[in-house]
A = this chain, B = another copy of it.
Amino acid sequence: MAERKVTSLDVAALAGVSQSAVSRVFTPGASVSKKMAARVRDAANELGYRPNVLARSLITGRSRIIGLVVAYLENPFYPDALERFSTVLQGEGYHILVFMTSGAGEGVDRVIEELMDYQVDGIITASVGMSDDLASRCSAAGIPVVLFNRGQADDRLAQVTSDNIRGGRRIAEFLVAGGHKRIAHVAGWQGSSTGRDRKDGFLAGLDAAGVMPVSVVEGEYSREVAAEATRALWAEHKPDAIFVGNDHMAFGVIDVLRHELGLSVPGDVSVVGYDDVPMAGWAAYDLTTLRQPSGQMVARTVEMLLERIGSPDVAARKEMIEGDLILRGSARVPEGWT
């Protein structure tokens, strides 16, 4: 067991060629004769040789490692994205190194240092708490960063989101058209662009229809906080419709409404979420929600990242993916709504 590591030198010896010849055979786009390639490959297979990615990266300057910075995986939107990211990137010859951050201030410094330590080729940030700080600093250090599902004012940062403002507005229109009179919003974390944009779009949509929300509260993207907010909301305002800043919170809101307050959803109150995580389609919730097409978002994120890794000085882009409102059973559907 624990056999000594087999190096390109061993292969070279067995094949009776130079070590650099072996290297060439395993370097895409190097010039080697067919005969040489075959001979080396045979020897390599016989010894079970594989190039050492780490040694390679020392000289090429590329590690083929992408750092994924993520704060929490409780919201199923993120594991889903992680799975997609990993699969897509593996297809491109990259792998994901995971960096968990509590999202707190001090953690950011540590994460940045660790990202640098591993010489990651690029970074994807995919969580709420990750402040713009991290992104800007890594970017400044010359490592391409793409913000996934998170925006920011700084134009030098690449980002992929859905059109949260438009999404929020659309939900407002939907709820108003449904004849709801006492509309409330349990907002996502206001420290994040998604939380703010969805709220702003929603309020703008209500405003355009001449409707005032009965209440707007913070859910902070936390199930517990949203649940607590819902209790207070009901006690004070008895809303007949609630737009919740993401599905993850919406499940908590519905649970409180139905099981603590004994209300009917959508009979007594309509609930609309945001994301369309798989669970939203489950019969227990059957949640009407605005879909964020995670497959497309992931694909674009990876494209942008690889593009920037390839040519570091390409301009950063902000990309928005459109998502549809998915009609299910948690909210009354307006007559003739399309």
Contact = CB atoms under 8 A, between A and B. Distances in A.
B73 A87 contact: no
A283 B255 contact: yes
A95 B98 contact: yes
Interface string A33-69: 0000000000000001011111101100001010010
A251 interface: yes
A54 B118 contact: yes
Interface centre among A48, A68, A86, A285 (most CB of B within 10 A): A86
Contacts of A97: 65, 95-98
Nearest to A71: B83
Interface of A: 1-3, 48, 50-55, 57-58, 63, 65, 68, 72-74, 76, 78-80, 82-83, 86-87, 90, 95-100, 113-114, 116-119, 139-142, 251-252, 254-256, 258-260, 278, 282-285, 312-313
Nearest to A256: B283
A188 B142 CA distance: 48
Given A100-B83, A282-B255, A284-B255, A140 B1 contact: yes
B283 A259 contact: yes
Interface centre among A2, A65, A284 (most CB of B within 10 A): A284
B58 A284 contact: no
Contacts of A3: 141-142
Nearest to A112: B50
A284 B254 contact: yes
A118 B284 contact: no
A116 B49 CA distance: 10
Nearest to A96: B98
B99 A95 contact: yes
A259 B80 CA distance: 26
A99 B79 CA distance: 14
Nearest to A139: B1
Nearest to A80: B73
Contacts of A63: 54
A255 B284 CA distance: 6
Nearest to A87: B100
Contacts of A114: 90, 95
Given A51-B117, A95-B97, A98-B98, A285 B284 contact: yes
Contacts of A51: 117
Contacts of A57: 54
A90 B98 CA distance: 9
A98 B74 contact: no
A74 B284 contact: no
Contacts of A83: 72-74, 100
Contacts of A142: 1-3
Contact of A117 (B48, B52, B252, B255): B52
A142 B251 CA distance: 46
Contacts of A50: 113, 116-117
Contacts of A52: 58, 117, 119
A74 B252 CA distance: 19
Contacts of A255: 282-284
Nearest to A111: B90
A119 B95 CA distance: 13
